[in-house]
């Protein structure tokens, strides 16, 4: 196995025998080594992989970020719908089955509640069919009434003009998940979309020098080779600041409702390998895709951001994208601290939030 070589290269970096920029550019593993790591199948190798990936994460990321969520609208114009989707109206009775579009006031109240809980970052997502106008609306409101960092996610719905507008109003991160770069698989699970459209959005985000978030949906039928090709495509073709690693977690009633869930261990392995390729970026695990109660696996694997975390004061009933269950703020904070890691929070606000809800830290 390649662990000795990885550990030696990281040790050399820590001892300043390798330049920082070179280390960031090259990472710790190449394509062949990544594929070998994907094929590990015993606990000793898993522990070694998680150990080195966590050490790399801890060097570059001293705190674990927590990202909450506001869903703007589920009225989606993609046709036919993605086979796994429980977000769009009419797709799954476990999800957002009834159509909705938040008012400006509802977005404002949600953003303020999230900030008052101590969380510092929010994801605002929209269904397709609005050329980015819905996430622009959300961004303007959140930035007006809070100091939250904002990620928006409208997939390939964004245009060049809407990306310029998002930059004008202070966007922090734009997410456009490719999910898989296996074109046949992409077309199978997302028959109403084109992979090239999502790639073009990612390139436009780079063009306007905005932090790009783009991730992998794993466990949908891709091979390990597909995952390696995807990660090194991101490495070589795009400037990526955040990679969400999302394990498939089925929504009942969808065409993929009986497809098996991706295991937490498989997600953690993918996160760890991603960390060795991208030492210094934000690697995100959304709680619904791994299972909120299993988030420790993602953290052991080197994740640095826990997403879809909902405080008790959130005024809306939030469903996860990938699975209905979301992460509760207090439980996520406990999971992070139980591992000896530091949650990134506004601690004064968080303490007041706990007092209001009569919770113990």
- Asked whether the whole model's pTM tops 0.85, one would answer yes
Domains and CATH numbers, the chain: 2-352 (3.20.20.70)
For 85, other C-beta atoms within 10 Å of its C-beta total 25
DSSP string, 287-321: HHHH-GGGHHHHHHTT--EEESEE-TT-SS-PPPS
- Residue 162 — very low, low, confident or very high, per pLDDT cuts 50/70/90? very high
* pLDDT higher than 50, residue 361: no
Torsion of CA 204, 215, 324, 141, to 10 degrees: -30
Per-residue pLDDT, averaged over 195-221, amounts to: 98
Per-residue pLDDT, averaged over 270-289, amounts to: 97
Q: Over the Cα atoms of the chain, what is R_g?
A: 19
* pLDDT higher than 90, residue 240: yes
Q: Tens digits of per-residue pLDDT, 84-140?
A: 999 999 999 999 999 999 999 999 999 999 999 999 999 999 999 999 999 999 999
Q: Residue 32: what pLDDT?
A: 98
Q: Which residues of 215-249 are buried (b: 16+ CB within 10 A; e: fewer)?
A: bbbbbbebebebbbbbbbebbeebebbbbbbbbbb
Average pLDDT in the chain:
95
Q: Residue 17: what pLDDT?
A: 66
Token pair, residue 45, equals 């190798």
Per-residue pLDDT, averaged over 169-183, amounts to: 98
């Amino acid at each position: 196995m390649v662990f000795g070589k990885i550990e030696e290269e990281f040790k050399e970096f820590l001892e300043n025998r390798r330049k920082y920029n070179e280390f960031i550019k090259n990472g710790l593993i190449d394509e062949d080594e990544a594929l070998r790591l994907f094929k590990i199948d015993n606990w000793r190798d898993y522990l070694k992989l998680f150990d080195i990936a966590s050490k790399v994460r801890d060097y570059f990321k001293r705190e674990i970020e927590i990202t909450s969520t506001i869903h703007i609208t589920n009225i989606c114009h993609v046709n036919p719908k993605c086979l796994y989707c429980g977000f769009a109206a009419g797709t799954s009775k476990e999800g957002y089955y009834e159509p909705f579009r938040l008012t400006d006031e509802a977005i404002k109240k949600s953003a303020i509640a999230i900030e008052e809980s101590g969380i510092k970052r929010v994801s605002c997502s929209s269904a397709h069919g609005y050329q980015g106008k819905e996430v622009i609306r959300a961004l303007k409101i959140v930035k007006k009434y809070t100091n939250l960092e904002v990620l928006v996610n409208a997939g390939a719905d964004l245009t060049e003009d809407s990306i310029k507008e998002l930059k004008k109003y202070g966007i922090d991160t734009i997410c456009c998940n490719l999910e898989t770069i296996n074109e046949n698989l992409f077309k199978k699970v997302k028959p109403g979309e084109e992979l090239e459209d999502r790639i073009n959005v990612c390139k436009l985000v780079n063009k306007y020098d905005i932090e790009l978030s783009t991730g992998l949906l794993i466990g949908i039928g891709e091979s390990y080779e597909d995952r390696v090709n995807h990660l090194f495509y991101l490495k070589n073709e795009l400037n990526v600041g955040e990679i969400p690693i999302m394990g498939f977690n089925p929504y009942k009633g969808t065409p993929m409702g009986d497809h098996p869930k991706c295991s937490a261990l498989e997600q953690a392995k993918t996160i760890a390998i991603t960390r060795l390729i991208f030492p210094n970026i934000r690697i995100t695990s959304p709680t619904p895709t791994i299972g909120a109660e299993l988030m420790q696996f993602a953290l052991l694997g080197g994740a640095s951001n826990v997403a879809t975390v909902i405080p008790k004061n959130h005024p809306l009933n939030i469903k996860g994208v990938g699975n209905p269950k979301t992460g509760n703020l207090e439980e996520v904070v406990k999971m992070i601290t139980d591992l000896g890691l530091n949650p990134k929070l506004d601690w004064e606000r968080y303490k007041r939030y706990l007092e209001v809800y009569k919770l113990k830290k």
